[in-house]
Structure 1
């Protein structure tokens, strides 16, 4: 009589391979989600900087331009907090997008942008990687 089906060893090998592939796929997925949220946070900073430049054109000062730091898209809100780095003065500003605990971004950390257009990050990556 010939046996049919899989042996227990064959079944365990298939399960182990499936688990390894799922682990790799999930890690790649998480990295891409973090990267896309980072891009949305950077875009929000640039949007706020454009508003501040328009504010400066009208008022000839960045003072009281903090209203520009209002909320970005609902997509960015849960993952980044947009705020000023230091008080705005007449000729300069610096703003930042600080990740919340829902955005575990150790590569780039807090993204910064100032009135001279200089971009920065506080993580282990480079500005080119993060912006």
Structure 2
């Protein structure tokens, strides 16, 4: 049987496929980890902006109650706000079925005293890892 030199054998294609699958298996988790860090930084920025907005409102009005213009969040997190006379608390919770659902950082909480926490975070996650500070 005469073999033409044009084309690839099945074994060559399987080896190439195995190499590609190995590279994807290594690269994809790193990529998704980078994307999640970016989304965490985005929600930290949103919470900080909302806290600054609330502090400006308090400076003008002497209370946090009835402060308007508070963001509800984005496509990945919902922000819940608790307002009192002299205290506020912002909590960002991952939206169900978003890429951040099940993130080891859990929720992001920022209070008027500047306290930052992550309720529901994995035990091995530090505040620095979640808040980027």
1:92 aligned onto 2:91: no
Q: Deviations over 1:59-92 (max 9, x none)?
A: 1111122x242246xxxx11111112xx421111
1:57 is aligned, of 51, 56, 59, to 59
Structure 1's unaligned 5+ residue stretches are none
2:64 partner SS: coil
Conservation of the 8 A alpha-carbon contact between 1:69 and 1:83: no
SS at match of 1:106: coil
Pairs aligned (count): 124
Assess if the C-alpha contact under 8 Å between 1:52 and 1:68 holds in 2: no
CA RMSD of aligned residues (A): 1.9
Unaligned runs of 5+ in 2: none
Q: Which runs of 4+ in 1 moved over 4 A?
A: 1-7
Superposed displacement of residue 20, structure 1: 1.3
| TM-score, normalised by the number of residues in structure 1 | 0.83
Q: State the match for 2:130 in structure 1.
A: 130
SS of 2:83 mapped into structure 1:
coil
Contact persistence 1:56–1:62 (CA under 8 A): yes
The TM-score with structure 2 as length reference comes to 0.82
